[in-house]
Structures are given as structure tokens and as C-alpha cells.
A and B are shown apart, each in its own frame.
Chain A
Amino acid sequence: MNLPQADEVYDVIMAVDGVTAVYPARAGWQNLAGAALGAVTGVQPPAVLVLPAAGADSTAAEVRTRIGVSSAHRAPDVCRDVASAIRHHCHPLSVTVDVQVAAISGPRPS
């Protein structure tokens, strides 16, 4: 079974109500290295990481992403909705999902 394509998962995440952005799912020092590599090669790191699950066969995967959320939506709910949407998209593949809210922006909370 093939792993889902990162760009497809990106579109799935962006389609979730309340998601304003998908940020590269890497730590800072890795971003620096990735940015330097991208400047040289023209290839940017993916915003969504889709990895085969450690120690598992090809029926399991891990998806990592960082998102921005509109303050018009409850950030924890949006985070759970994103995890659910990723799982639905990857079905019947077994996935574990790591979603981190990195920014909350947009209309001010009333």
C-alpha cells in the first residue's frame, strides 16, 4: 500500500474549516538547513511530513504538520478536525497524526 502524497494531505488540511496556514513540520535548526538547501537546489521542504511508521509494515504511516488557525474557530477543535480529516483521507491505511497549532490569527476573539 502506498503512502499518501504530502501535497494531497496538504490540500486536505487546508480544506478544514478554521485552518489558515500549513507550516513546515520541522524544528528550527532543520528549517535553517532546509532553507539553505532550498536556496541552492530550488527545492523546498514539504509542509506536511508523511513517513512510514517506525517498525511497521506498509500499512501504517505517521503524518506530521503544523497549522495556523483562525481565531474565529476554537483552536483545539480545529486541531482535532485536522487529525480526523487526515485519518479519513488515509483510510484504510493506519495512521498516527501529529498536529501542532503554531499560530492563532485573524478576527479578534469577541
Chain B
Amino acid sequence: MSIPNDNLECGHSLEGLSTYLDTGGIPDPQHLEECPECQAALASLRNLKALGSEFLGEEIAAAGKGTDAWMQSILDNLRLEVRPGRTIPLRSDHPGDTLSETEGAITALVRAVGDALDGVAVGKCRLRGDITVPGAPVTLEVQLAVLYGHQMIGRASALRERLAVALARHTELNVAAIDLAVSDVLQPLQATPPTSEENQP
């Protein structure tokens, strides 16, 4: 898997974190326990690696692309999404206190909810609207891939329901809409037709 080399705000890169998953080696392992952005990136990279080994290689082979463009677009989004981003205010019980959530924490939550749903892989998620203003209407936009053999509408409905529950539980955002777009269908090995070379004696 080719990983973009742009650094996160802490100085680590997705490439370095991917290498850590493969080899267990990283110069400052203590940092991983102290950095929520690296932890979110590692969780997503683990899921992507599992997804890639199970489905994506075959999907790419069947399409004859020879590239992992779909994976690259996910990684490009991931690099943006794991950053802290904007500050989402929370109601406080005491005047003068400042309670908040990072945008990165919420997008990581969205990605985790999607990745936990069978047959779905989250490609991109964005919070649209002024999330820094309490009560302002916010739209969650999610692009997803559905694995071959799963009903798109059924999977999308299930994901929308789970995301609504998660956002209501873990944020105080005024979620006006959850917009889902199925941008890809991933094909598993079993459904991949044999190539013409494989058919030859």
C-alpha cells in the first residue's frame, strides 16, 4: 500500500505509522500512547490493511487498474480527518469553563461506526456547517464503499441509523442531515471472474 508522506500535526506521517503496523518499529513508541491523532490514524490504517488484503487487491486485479487509487483517496482523506480540526463546544455546568470536542475525534468516531458495520467501508467523512457555534445546523457527509453482495440501500440505511445514534450520544451538534453517497462497490475474491490467461490450458 502506497501511503502519502504528508505529516500529521504531531510530526508523524501515515507512512511511518503504516510501517509501524508492519514492523512494530517506531522511534518514539511512547508518543503513540499520548497522541489521539496517531491513535485514530492507526485504527483506520489497521482497518484499511485488513480490508485491502481481503477485498481491495482482488478488486484492483479484476479491474486491471494496477493502481490503488481508491485506497489512495481514502488515505488522502484520512490524513485530513485525523487532525484535530475545528473545536466543537460543549455545554458547561460552570461559567468560565471551556468544554469541547475536536472535529477529529468526531470524524474518527464516524469512521469507526462505519467500519464496524459489515459490508461497508467509509471513504470520506466531512462535517459541513459551523460546528463551532452551538445549535448551528450541521450536515454530516459520508462517502462509502459497499462490498459486493450487500444491498446498498439496506447498508446505507443501517449506517445512517447508527451514525445518528452515535452523534446524538457523543456530541451536542444540531445534526440537520446525514448525507451518504455510495462511491464504490468492492468485489471479493470469490466473485472475481477468472482472467483469460487463467482459462488457457
A-to-B contact residues, CB < 8 Å: 21, 23-24, 28-29, 31-32, 35, 39, 44, 47, 66, 68-69, 71, 74-76, 79-80, 83-84, 87, 96-105, 108-110
Tell me whether B165 and A23 are in contact (CB under 8 A): no
Q: B105 to A102, Cβ gap below 8 A?
A: yes
Interface size class of B (residues with CB under 8 A): 35 or more
Interface residues of B (CB under 8 A from A): 9-11, 28, 30-31, 33-36, 39-40, 43, 84, 87, 90-94, 96-102, 104-106, 108-109, 112-113, 116, 162, 165-166, 169-172
Neighbouring A residues of B99 by C-beta, 8 Å: 76, 79-80, 83, 97-100
The residue that A108 contacts in the complex, of B9, B34, B113, with Cβ under 8 A, is B113
- Chain B contacts for A28, CB-based, 8 A: 9-11, 84
Known: A66-B36, A83-B97. Contact between A103 and B108, CB under 8 A? yes
Contact A100 B91 (CB under 8 A): no
In contact, B34 and A105 (Cβ under 8 angstroms): no
Instruction: Give the distance in Å from the alpha carbon of A24 to the alpha carbon of B9 in the complex.
Output: 14
Residues of A contacting B100 with CB < 8 Å?
Answer: 79, 99-101
Q: What's the minimum C-beta distance from A73 to chain B, rounded to whole angstroms?
A: 9
The 5 listed contacts between A and B (C-beta, < 8 Å) are A21-B33, A21-B36, A80-B90, A83-B93, A103-B40
Contact among A35, A69, A102, A105 with B84 in the assembled complex (CB-CB below 8 Å) = A102
| Beta-carbon contact of A102 and B104 below 8 Å | yes
Contact assessment for A101 and B101 in the assembled complex, using a CB-CB cutoff below 8 Å: yes
Return chain B residues, CB-CB under 8 Å to A21.
33, 36
Contact B36–A76 (Cβ < 8 Å): no
Query: Smallest Cβ distance from A62 to chain B, in angstroms?
Result: 9
The answer on a CB contact under 8 Å between A103 and B169 is: no
CA distance A95 to B97 in the complex (A): 9
Minimum C-beta distance from B36 to chain A (A):
4
